[in-house]
């Protein structure tokens, strides 16, 4: 059976700290050539609204996790890969550079609750969820990629809520006038765009904190 070919589209995913990201994933997963028992997927995380900053990564899927996922096809693991990478950015484990060496990222069972049989990337408060939705809609518009697709299981999974709960939060924000929601797609309103300075500041603050951490680690070595 041939592996699916995905046509890349610009979709912005935002970290809880406010960094707008897009992901280029080089399907398919391939067996490791090092002899280790894991599969590898090369990825490039692009920091939107930056001067070409990105973080190349090699996603290493463990043998334990391979037994859990239905398949290694994009339809079954794309959201999980994106959230694993996004979590590493939120934890400041990846550094954005203009060029750079590929960094291994372990996609392992630490994101899976075996007792509940659920994927867990971290819990978020209602305030965090609202903030994430607003950032997503803003940045999707800011990079010229059109309306933001909010009926996205990837985002709901990232903050450990159901898609229904995620969309309910989005509908409440629509009622407050932040965007227009139609068939799962959100178009930024003037009210949202007037807050551009806040979103840009949040991004810069998050990037400064991330760069400060990596600068400290380089100095400590």
Beta-strand pair 38-47/20-31: antiparallel
Class of domain 126-199: mainly alpha
Q: Distance between CA 120 and CA 176 in Å, rounded?
A: 30
At residue 221, the pLDDT reads 55
Q: Do you know the residue count of the chain?
A: 221
* Residues 6+ positions from 114 with CB-CB distance below 8 Å: none
Detail the DSSP E strand segments found in the chain: 13-14, 20-31, 38-47, 54-62, 103-107, 112-113, 118-119, 148-149, 179-182, 185-188
Phi and psi at residue 49, to the nearest 5°: 60, 30
- Each domain of the chain, given as residue ranges in start order, spans 13-117, 126-199
Mean pLDDT by runs of 10 across the 221 residues of the chain is 44 96 95 83 95 94 90 95 95 89 84 88 93 97 91 95 97 98 96 97 95 77 55
Q: Compute the CA torsion angle 40, 11, 73, 2 (nearest 10 deg).
A: -100
């Amino acid at each position: 059976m041939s592996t699916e070919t995905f046509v890349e589209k610009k979709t912005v995913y935002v970290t809880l700290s406010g960094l707008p990201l897009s992901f280029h994933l080089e399907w398919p997963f391939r067996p490791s050539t090092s002899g280790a028992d894991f599969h590898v997927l090369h990825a490039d995380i692009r920091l939107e609204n930056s001067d070409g900053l990105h973080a190349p990564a090699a996603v290493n899927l463990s043998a334990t996790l391979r037994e859990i996922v239905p398949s290694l096809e994009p339809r079954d693991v794309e959201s999980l890969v994106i959230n694993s990478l996004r979590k590493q950015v939120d934890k400041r484990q990846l550094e954005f550079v203009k060029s750079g060496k590929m960094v291994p990222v372990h996609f392992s069972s630490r994101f899976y609750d075996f007792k509940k049989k659920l994927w867990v990337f971290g819990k978020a408060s209602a305030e965090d969820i609202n903030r994430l939705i607003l950032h997503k809609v803003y940045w999707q518009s800011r990079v010229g990629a059109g309306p933001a697709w909010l009926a996205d299981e990837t985002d709901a999974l990232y903050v450990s809520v159901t898609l229904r709960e995620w969309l309910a939060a989005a509908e409440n924000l629509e009622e407050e006038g932040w965007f227009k929601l139609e068939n799962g797609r959100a178009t930024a309103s003037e009210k949202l765009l007037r807050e551009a300075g806040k979103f840009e500041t949040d991004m810069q603050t998050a990037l400064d904190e991330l760069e400060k951490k990596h600068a400290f680690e380089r100095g400590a070595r």
